[in-house]
Amino acid sequence: MWHSGARGGGTRVRVRSTRESNRRKVPSICGLRWPLLVSLVAAAALAGCGGDGVESHPTPSASTVESDAGLRAVEIASGLDRPVYVASAPGEPDRLYAVGQAGVIQVLDHGELQGEPFLDISDLTTTSPKGELAAEQGLLSMVFAPDYATSGRFYVDYTDRQGHVNVVEYRAREGRADPDSARRVLLVEKSSPTHNGGQLHFGPGGDLYVGIGDDGGSRVHPQSLEAGDLLGKLLRLDAEDPDAGVRVVAYGLRNPWRFSFDRETGDLWIADVGSLTWEEVNYLPRSDPGLKNLGWDAYEGHEAFVWDEGSHDEPEGPGELVWPIAVYGRDGGCAAVIGGYAYRGEEIPAARGRYFYGDFCTGQVWSIDPAEPERVRHELELGTTLASFGEDSAGELYLVSRTGSIFRLSD
């Protein structure tokens, strides 16, 4: 089972292959503009499309209801420098780690911002100045090893000054990271500053999972459907022995900015940022192991994706094609799905087991129950841009705005 960390699942990749595309020219039969809506379907594994034309999977109807849980986003920190993620460490229930895109990780201890940074790698990365919200480079996330309390190991994902994605291990001593302990465990070369992915999580089996985008500037090389390329994939590796190789556990991704595991079930949620028409959330239950194909750039949401010149990439290759459990339309405006977490805290009983996600541009937050995916619940509007969610050691959820604030989800 690939979710459990067993070595039998997935596709092993040691080096990147050529990016040459084997695209098939087919006529376009689907439109690319839909009104804004939220639509859901239970994830199903289907065979790839065939025939001479381009087929779309029908976008199912669904209802969106206003939540009666009365949830609020309570600001717990402000004035941070471009925060894009918040993490917690095993054995530290009173501390949060705010990841700043400019390269600095700051500590909130009992809600108080500490003066000394936990880690500063601002000389290794670069991002846009304050006030420019669209940058996709920089320090993007962090994760603590399950044995952090004894080993001090944690990992960061950042783009270096050449624009390549780096996953690097550090060790902490006496509450601060040791910059001299850096050990790179993964390097993925890129030609574009966009679609870097950026999320790190340890899975139920103890392996490190890494989300990598499709290298947005390479329009004519859709690497997401190329099994031998690391771009546009969800990867898994043994962080303590990276020489053992990298496994592809899901491909067909455009930009998996945020993904997470349900801490209780081990189920995997992946939010994939859309291109023209649809934002999508994918659900991979732990009970359904094996290599998965999430469709891009053959499909965007449930629609066949056709490039401007009329070409369409067939979702050929290994793995089951999985349709998203949730989609919402871009409606021609700004939209970018922000994946969150399945709530497993104790303070909000009405939210328990529901998966939370939102939109970067609008700050809208929704939740769904995987057992009832046809009903979306609108939970709140943040009132500012939403860059990320976070989860503390007790399973409580946080919302992060790149404008400088961190909020706690509350009822």
Question: Is the model's pLDDT at 41 over the cut of 80?
Answer: no
What's the whole-number mean pLDDT along residues 39-55?
A: 35
Which range among 143-147, 164-168, 220-224, 396-400 shows the weakest confidence by mean pLDDT? 220-224
Q: What number of helices (H) and strands (E) belong to the chain?
A: 1, 35
Q: CA angle at residue 234 from 172 to 243, to 5 degrees?
A: 55
Which range among 16-25, 290-299, 304-313 shows the weakest confidence by mean pLDDT? 16-25
Q: Are 26 and 225 in contact (CB under 8 A)?
A: no
Range of the domain at 42: 2-410
pLDDT band at 168 (very low <50, low <70, confident <90, very high): very high
Percent helix, strand and coil across the chain, each to the nearest 5: 5, 40, 55
Question: Is the model's pLDDT at 52 over the cut of 50?
Answer: no
What's the whole-number mean pLDDT along residues 60-86?
A: 86
* pLDDT of the residue at 229: 86
pLDDT tens digits for range 106-134: 999 999 999 999 999 999 998 777 655 55
Tell me the C-alpha to C-alpha distance, in Å, between residue 69 and each of 66, 326, 347, 352: 9, 21, 12, 11
Does residue 360 or residue 216 have the better pLDDT?
360
CATH code of residue 370? 2.120.10.30
What's the whole-number mean pLDDT along residues 370-399?
A: 95
* pLDDT of the residue at 350: 94
Say how far apart CA 108 and CA 255 lie, in whole Å: 29
Question: Would you give the DSSP letter of residue 95?
Answer: E
Locate the DSSP E strands across 44-175. 45-46, 63-66, 72-77, 83-87, 95-100, 104-109, 112-113, 119-120, 139-144, 153-159, 165-173
Hey, which residues does 408 pair with through a beta bridge? 74, 398
- State CA 92 to chain mean position distance: 24
Say how far apart CA 84 and CA 399 lie, in whole Å: 10
pLDDT band at 2 (very low <50, low <70, confident <90, very high): very low
Count up the domains in the chain and report the number. Answer: 1
* pLDDT of the residue at 48: 30
Question: Is the model's pLDDT at 33 over the cut of 60?
Answer: no
